[in-house]
Structure 1
Amino acid sequence: MSNESSLSLPELNDRIAILQDNIRQLVEQAAAASGEQNQERIADRIHQQNEELERLMKERDDRPKK
């Protein structure tokens, strides 16, 4: 899945920070959630957010250093 984004480095860093905050909030929701369905739904969202975070961090790290 090689969809190079046209995000600038500051935009990439902003998106990474947003994803990290989303993941933190989802972890807090998971801790407070009751019921297996809620926990599974939150776990799926955490997984999706982590995948996106890893992709963006790799994209950032693969950029040429200036």
Structure 2
Amino acid sequence: MADTKTLAEIEQRIAILRDNLRELVEQAAGFSGAANEELTADRINEQQAELDELLKKRDAMTKS
């Protein structure tokens, strides 16, 4: 059985990352200039990669 504290922490981090991604996408819509767009795209990619990893961990924990 999954450790509920760890699972709860993962769920909380997933929620935070989803909020971060939503905010970054909104910011990207308002930015102009290649440097700002590239920085925002990099941040979005980093946040998405972390979210993907946490989703995999959560899925593994809930399947066991």
Is 2:20 the partner of 1:22? yes
User: Equivalent pairs: percent with the same residue?
Assistant: 53
Secondary structure of the residue that 1:62 maps to in structure 2? helix
User: Alignment partner of 2:32: what SS?
Assistant: coil
Which structure has greater helix proportion?
2
Q: Distance in 1 between matches of 2:10 and 2:54?
A: 7
Structure 1 segments (4+ residues) deviating >6 Å: none
CA separation in 1, counterparts of 2:10 and 2:49? 15
What are structure 1's unaligned runs of at least 5 residues? 1-6
Q: So what's the TM-score if we normalise by structure 2? A: 0.87
Give the deviation of 1:65 after TM superposition.
4.0
Letter in 1 for 2:47: Q
Q: Which ranges of structure 2 fall in alignment gaps of 5 or more residues?
A: none
Between the two proteins, the alignment pairs up a number of residues equal to 60
Q: Which structure exhibits the higher relative contact order, with contacts defined as CA atoms closer than 8 Å and separated by 6 or more residues?
A: 2
